[in-house]
Amino acid sequence: MFGLAIAGAASGQWYFHSFLAAQLGVVEPRYAISQSRHAEILQLESDKKVTQELADLYFYLKYPWPRTQLFAAVAEPMPSSIRLTDLLLLEQADTAVAAHGPDGDTNHSTVEAEKNVKVTAKSALAELRREHDRQQTILELSGEATVTKELHEYVDALARSPLFASASLKGLESGGDAKKGISSFHIRIVVRPGHGQSGAPPSKPASPAVAMADESRSHTSTSGGSP
């Protein structure tokens, strides 16, 4: 009886082992496929991250705003009663961004350590932000106006431009007897930060095809017009 019990147990274990081996033969190919797909998903996520970093860098490189675009925004609403005599474009440090910006750390040891790190799209974008996000673009306009009302309307039109954060009339003087009816003025314009920069309104980057088409149209319009 004892021997029969041992033989029965051994036979049961053999059948159980055979069943498990058969099940394993079915599961192993599926497990291999699952592992392969998991590796593909990880690779896709890695590629997506790299692509997103490149897209962020490309998007940032489209700004700050092209100078021709800023000058066009100044010229388009200008009435015929206004004549510009001077236009200055200045780059000033924005102290608010410098104090509260995304990369306010200016430790020299950190900068030196970053020089030894392999350059990636993410690190390149961080370096560009460190260099440009603390700058504020200012336009200083000087000129003469024969109609004061149109001058004020012109300043209001500049202030409403999506490219400008503010526009204000800083000085207005009469021309005197030599220039009777002509007033000299000075306008200060603060240019709005470009998309991708700190303080700019959120916006999604355009696709490369759309960006190239916009750039092509810009070149076509500037080459066909007068300077």
The dihedral region occupied by 144, where left means phi > 0, alpha psi between -120 and 50, and beta the remainder, is: beta
Could you give the CA distance from residue 134 to residue 114 in angstroms, rounded to a whole number? 19
pLDDT: which is higher, 29 or 70 = 70
- Whether 175 contacts 181, CB under 8 Å: yes
Question: Which tokens sit at 214?
Answer: 């916009």
Could you give the CA distance from residue 165 to residue 154 in angstroms, rounded to a whole number? 15
Length of the chain: 227
Could you give the CA distance from residue 44 to residue 39 in angstroms, rounded to a whole number? 9
- Residue 54: per-residue pLDDT: 82
The full DSSP string for 109-126 is HHHHHHHTSPP-HHHHHH
**Per-residue model confidence as pLDDT tens digits over 190-219:** 988 876 666 565 554 444 444 444 444 444
Asked whether the predicted pLDDT for residue 81 surpasses 90, the reply is: yes
**Per-residue model confidence as pLDDT tens digits over 125-160:** 777 777 767 778 899 999 999 999 999 999 999 999
Measure the N-to-C terminal CA separation of the chain; round to a whole number of Å.
Answer: 110
